[in-house]
Amino acid sequence: MIRFGLLGFGAIGQLRAESLQQTPGATLSMICERDEKLLALATSKYSAKTTRNYDEMLACDDVDVVIVSTPPNLHRDHCEAAFAHNKHVLCEKPLATTNQDAKAIVEASEKANCVLGTGFNYRFYPAIAKIRELINAGEIGDIDHVRSFAGHPGGPEFTHPWVHKPEIMGGGALMDNGIHVIDLTLHFLGKPTDSMGMATDHTWAFGQSEDNGFLLMRNELGNVASVQASWTEWRGYQFNVEVYGTEGCVRASYPPMLCSVRKKPVGNAKRGRKKSYWFPTFQIKERLKSYRWTIVESFIAEQRDFMLRVGGGVGVGATGIDGLYAVEAARSAAHLECIKTP
């Protein structure tokens, strides 16, 4: 059994707790939450020990892994404190609000010789797992470029007032919903050698965080990727990732959970062969139980993958370095200088 401590029992921490109950080989040993009402809720729902003091949780011998589920501006302090107690850390996205803080977290994990993961749970959505499988099976040949999008309507969609505060989030749409698809894009593109971007803030006009961020990245082979992150996607929450190769392309999108592969035309054909994947279990369960069911499922898979890494194995989940690359890429466009006001 691997024993988990959960730091932060807010919106996401509560889903983490639910998913840890269902993760084979995992025990939820301790929950730390500074808000008294939330702490009482944790105590009433779970048999885990509870505390308001994270030093108490970090000093606890019954905790091997800490899930850091606090607001992003606290991640550096909380990760460094966990590593100082030789705990492995799975930290929610974004890893940090600045490049410097993200680097410091990675360095602290290396110094402590502890495993660091970044909570990019979309890697475990079945549509993403399917395009990974198709790419690895050679269905699209060699990767040429990646094109991704993540959007929601911004304002009314924010769960917390701090989501558009750069001092807490580190940026706007690119650091919020965008960071997930930046990670997915780099998951397929590989390490970026260049990234640059532009941004707009004319709709919500938060002043310091972009409504829309447009990012271009390139790897050392010259393959290119573009990402748009939006807080003005009036049709509602959605994301998609498209990977184009020399023999075809794959596309994953959500919601609903879908994936397709389209091959390059051969002979006299105008269009290449197409195959679609529907994931009926996800589509039905999500309708019955809400999108939270999908998140919990992805957390279970992500935690299993992280436990594999703690045991010395190699997983497909995002490492600390992946978290650092995503922050660096987002911040190359998600700052005021990139917003050109007329």
Ligand X SMILES: NC(=O)c1ccc[n+]([C@@H]2O[C@H](COP(=O)([O-])OP(=O)(O)OC[C@H]3O[C@@H](n4cnc5c(N)ncnc54)[C@H](O)[C@@H]3O)[C@@H](O)[C@H]2O)c1
Q: Give residues in contact with ligand X (CB under 6 A).
A: 7-13, 32-35, 38, 54, 69-72, 74, 92-93, 119, 121, 159-160
Whether residue 322 contacts residue 123, with contact meaning beta carbons closer than 8 Å, is answered with no
In the complex, what is the shortest distance from the CB of residue 77 to ligand X, in angstroms, rounded to a whole number?
8
200, two tokens: 């707009």
- Which 8-state DSSP code applies to residue 319? B
In the complex, what is the shortest distance from the CB of residue 45 to ligand X, in angstroms, rounded to a whole number?
14
User: What residues contact residue 316 under an 8 Å CB cut-off, 6+ apart?
Assistant: 123, 124, 132, 305
Q: Which is nearer to ligand X, 96 or 112 (CB)?
A: 96
The Cα–Cα gap between 123 and 239 comes to: 13
Whether residue 279 contacts residue 300, with contact meaning beta carbons closer than 8 Å, is answered with no
In the complex, what is the shortest distance from the CB of residue 113 to ligand X, in angstroms, rounded to a whole number?
25
The Cα–Cα gap between 158 and 268 comes to: 50
Q: Which is nearer to ligand X, 164 or 262 (CB)?
A: 164
169, two tokens: 């989030």
DSSP code per residue over 10-21:
SHHHHHHHHHHH
In the complex, what is the shortest distance from the CB of residue 284 to ligand X, in angstroms, rounded to a whole number?
22
Amino acid at 331: R
Task: Using DSSP, state whether 4 is helix, strand or coil.
Answer: strand
In the complex, what is the shortest distance from the CB of residue 224 to ligand X, in angstroms, rounded to a whole number?
26
In the complex, what is the shortest distance from the CB of residue 268 to ligand X, in angstroms, rounded to a whole number?
46
Q: Which is nearer to ligand X, 6 or 249 (CB)?
A: 6
Q: Which is nearer to ligand X, 92 or 286 (CB)?
A: 92
In the complex, what is the shortest distance from the CB of residue 89 to ligand X, in angstroms, rounded to a whole number?
13
Q: Sign of dihedral through CA atoms 171, 164, 185, 230?
A: negative
Q: Which residue is nearest to ligand X (CB)?
A: 10
Whether residue 170 contacts residue 331, with contact meaning beta carbons closer than 8 Å, is answered with yes
In the complex, what is the shortest distance from the CB of residue 60 to ligand X, in angstroms, rounded to a whole number?
14
The Cα–Cα gap between 332 and 323 comes to: 14
For residue 179, which of 144, 215, 137, 209 has the smallest C-alpha distance? 215
Q: Which is nearer to ligand X, 11 or 40 (CB)?
A: 11
Q: How far apart, in Å, do the first and last CA atoms of the chain sit?
A: 58
Q: Which is nearer to ligand X, 260 or 303 (CB)?
A: 303
Q: Which is nearer to ligand X, 10 or 141 (CB)?
A: 10
Q: Which is nearer to ligand X, 208 or 264 (CB)?
A: 208
Task: Using DSSP, state whether 77 is helix, strand or coil.
Answer: helix
Rg, C-alpha atoms of the chain: 20
